[in-house]
Amino acid sequence: MADRDSRAGATYATAEILAYAARVHAAHDAALERAFAAPDLFGMPAIQVGANEGRFLEVLLRALGARRVVEVGTLAGYSALWIARALPEGGHLWSLEVDAKHAAVARENLAAAGAQGRVTILVGKAQDLLPRLEGHGPFDAVFLDADKEGYVHYGRWAARHLRRGGLLLADNAFFFSRLLEESPEAAAVRLFHEEVARGFETACLPTPDGLLVGFRR
Ligand SMILES: C[S@@+](CC[C@H](N)C(=O)[O-])C[C@H]1O[C@@H](n2cnc3c(N)ncnc32)[C@H](O)[C@@H]1O
């Protein structure tokens, strides 16, 4: 039987094509460049989303008319800046970050971009911080990009606090190629996929490490 994805394991994208797409569709201005470069400059892991994914988040959230967004995993504020730029006047992003140094660098990057009024960065474990956001909901979108062991918990929280028609987005849905491994960590990420697929209208896009998108019915 033919594979349901006849191109499984293959990609037409080359590094040059991805760079071209980023130049044409996701060009950096000085503020995005600063936030993108910050992890390398400040000795942080350079594990931010790529430019094409960041711009995808911005376009998707703008099309949704998102006003209230939660991000789990701030790092240096690069994806937060793309998200903040999607928000209309009065819109807000709450971004959660466990590492105080990452949060400090992100705050500087967002201030340099003039986005500090639209973004609140909270420092601590997302599991502890999420209950503090509940009074600001319901939310239009929740973007997960932190510890993968926490995704099941964050997904359940999102199911309770997203508005109908809101979006759950999760990066690293392929768990760094380990999704199908026999390990408790991989099993937890699969449970996240399966629960979200039951509760949302979902699609999993084959970005470099998979982007799960769920539409709350
Ligand atoms: C992949 S990076 C986020 C990248 C960012 N979204 C971007 O694209 O610019 C993951 C971040 O999540 C943070 N993190 C890890 N576990 C966390 C937790 N339990 N709660 C909050 N943040 C966490 C890490 O310190 C790291 O800064």
Q: Is 160 exposed, middle or buried (CB count within 10 Å of its CB: 0-12, 13-18, 19+)?
A: exposed
The mean pLDDT of 115-142, rounded to a whole number, is 97
**pLDDT of 173-189, one tens digit each?**
999 999 999 999 999 99
Task: Assign 1 a pLDDT band (cuts: 50, 70, 90).
Answer: very low
Whose CA is closest to atom 11 on ligand 1? 73
Pocket of ligand 1 (CB under 6 A): 47-49, 72-75, 78-79, 96-99, 102, 125-126, 145-147, 150
pLDDT band at 2 (very low <50, low <70, confident <90, very high): very low
**Domains of the chain (ranges plus CATH)?**
15-45+62-216 (3.40.50.150)
How many whole angstroms from 125 Cα to the centroid of ligand 1? 10
**5 CA → ligand 1 middle, Å:** 31
Annotate 1-69 with DSSP letters as a single string: ---SSTTTT-----HHHHHHHHHHHS---HHHHHHHHHHHHTT----PPPHHHHHHHHHHHHHHT--EE
For the CA of 146, the closest atom of ligand 1 is: 12
5-19, 32-46, 153-167: range with lowest mean pLDDT: 5-19
> pTM, whole model, 2 decimals?
0.96
**Atom of ligand 1 at shortest distance to CA of 48?**
8
For ligand 1, atom 13, name the residue with the nearest CA. 73
- What is the distance in A from the centroid of ligand 1 to the CA of 104? 13
User: Across the chain, what does the average pLDDT equal?
Assistant: 95
136 touches 156 (CB < 8 A) = no
Calpha distance 51→205 (Å, rounded): 16
Q: Could you tell me the distance, in angstroms and rounded to a whole number, from the CA of residue 45 to the centre of ligand 1?
A: 10
Whole-number Å distance between alpha carbons of 123 and 140: 22
What element of type H or E holds 165?
strand 162-171
Residue nearest to atom 19 of ligand 1 (CA): 125
State how beta strands 92-97 and 162-171 pair.
unpaired
CB 106 within 8 A of CB 75: yes
Residue 103 tokens read as 């949060």
